[in-house]
Amino acid sequence: MTRQKTILVTGGAGFLGSFLCESLVADGHSVICLDNFHTGAREKIAHLMDEENFELVWHDVTVPVHADVDEIYNLACPASPVHYQSDPVKTVKTNVMGALNALELARHTQAKVFQASTSEIYGDPAVHPQDETYWGNVNSIGPRSCYDEGKRCAETLFYDYHRQYGLEIRVARIFNTYGPRMNADDGRVVSNFVLQALKNEPVTLYGNGMQTRSFCYVDDLIRGIRALMDHEPGVLHPVNLGNPVEFTMRGLADLVLELTGSRSELVFRPLPQDDPRQRRPDITRATEALGWQPEVPLRRGLEKVIDYFDGVLSRRPARVEVPAALTARPPLAVRRRANGGAAVGPLAL
């Protein structure tokens, strides 16, 4: 039987974080979900709020948090260009200071700590497909650099803490992931295409539409994250998690139009600066070390996303507004309750 753990998930009310919290709660772990609701939303984790082993903490990861935990999953950071480029300085701070605070908490509690890194580590790759030994081709001063270099710095910190303090770390480089609970306004290609098609609006392609991506359904990705975290004695090196089946943007658009029965036309716009031409993971390490590979084909996953966004368009749920004062709140102390929950209060400095 799996030992019940107390687990902190930063960015837990986001797209990936909400599914991770759901999976951990279902397995009986006591989960502390940390989020400042910059891109996360309470409705993504609303179904967990009545669970005795789930606690929501409104907090920004750039401020330290103290908690009695066994494991930490650091997922906090806007992941779509629209959001991370809207406040690039904040994006860098979230990546770097958020990683530092997660690592310091892990150092003081001897918790195992996971970093949600990204395929953006590889930039516009000159090697295809990308395996974990590739160092990347990243513009350090471009509009995407706040995210790309922020994640690269976070990886550096994780490995320096491992070498210097002996921390038990896990690092996953996550490739394009899609599924229900994606934000409608995040500008990612799957949500863009599906929403435009459902509204019979022009479907926007950039460049000639021949650039490629690989799409991993969220359920598969969460399985991979948990397999990496639970693996003993552990995989020290970064691990690519993604679907190795490659699609052109034009092919994806055509499939979305077919599945929605949309009357939308395709329109073409100039390719954004530093937009990668190809992106496909080599998942040999994940397959051999973890026994993991994705199972959900794109067509089936898209059908679920289309159903989800069709529901979103019909009901248009309100987003939670975050008071500005809460983005600069003091450090929090989270203490385990006797019943496995979490008690939250200001940290005495």
d(CA 244, CA 295) in angstroms, rounded, equals: 11
Rounded Cα distance, 249 and 209, in Å: 5
In angstroms, the first-to-last Cα distance of the chain is 39
Catalytic residue numbers, as ranges:
147
Report the candidate in 218, 210, 217 with the shortest Cα–Cα distance to residue 279.
Answer: 210
Angle separating helix axes 15-26 and 218-230, nearest 10 degrees? 60
> How many Å is the Cα radius of gyration of the chain?
20
Instruction: Give the list of residues 6+ apart from residue 347 with CB closer than 8 angstroms, or none.
Output: 64, 66, 330, 331, 332, 333
DSSP 67: E
Q: Whole-angstrom Cα distance, residue 146 to residue 174? A: 17
